[in-house]
Amino acid sequence: MEINDTAFDQLAHLSRLQFSAAEKEEIKGDLQRMIAFVEKLNEVDTTGVAPLLHMSSAANVWREDEVKGSVTNEEALLNASDARDQFFRVPKVIKK
């Protein structure tokens, strides 16, 4: 497949990009090399090769649900710089 000016202009328009003439020629060359690489991959015989769905053979590795201890509200607020009742107080960040 050859990247011509029309195809390049369509891609640039769809991606909302603008290029100078020098950039256009450089990028056209890069696109042409990418397409040549993909066309080369299409020449590889993949008959009998199953598609790779995951990089690992492990499937659905889940941990067991275990009830673990947690800190109480009082313990959580011990290191708070400012607290009121059972809540952390933080500086106001939204202005009206």
Residue 11: CATH number of its domain? 1.10.20
Domain membership flag for residue 84: no
Identify which of 7, 47, 53 has the alpha carbon closest to the alpha carbon of residue 31: 7
pLDDT in tens, 1-59: 788 899 999 999 999 999 999 999 999 999 999 999 999 988 999 899 888 887 777 77
Task: Look at the chain and report how many structural domains it folds into.
Answer: 1
- Give the range of the structural domain holding residue 21, as residue numbers without chain letter: 5-42
pTM beyond 0.85: the answer is no
Query: What torsion do the CA atoms of 12, 16, 18, 24 make, to the nearest 10 degrees?
Result: -20
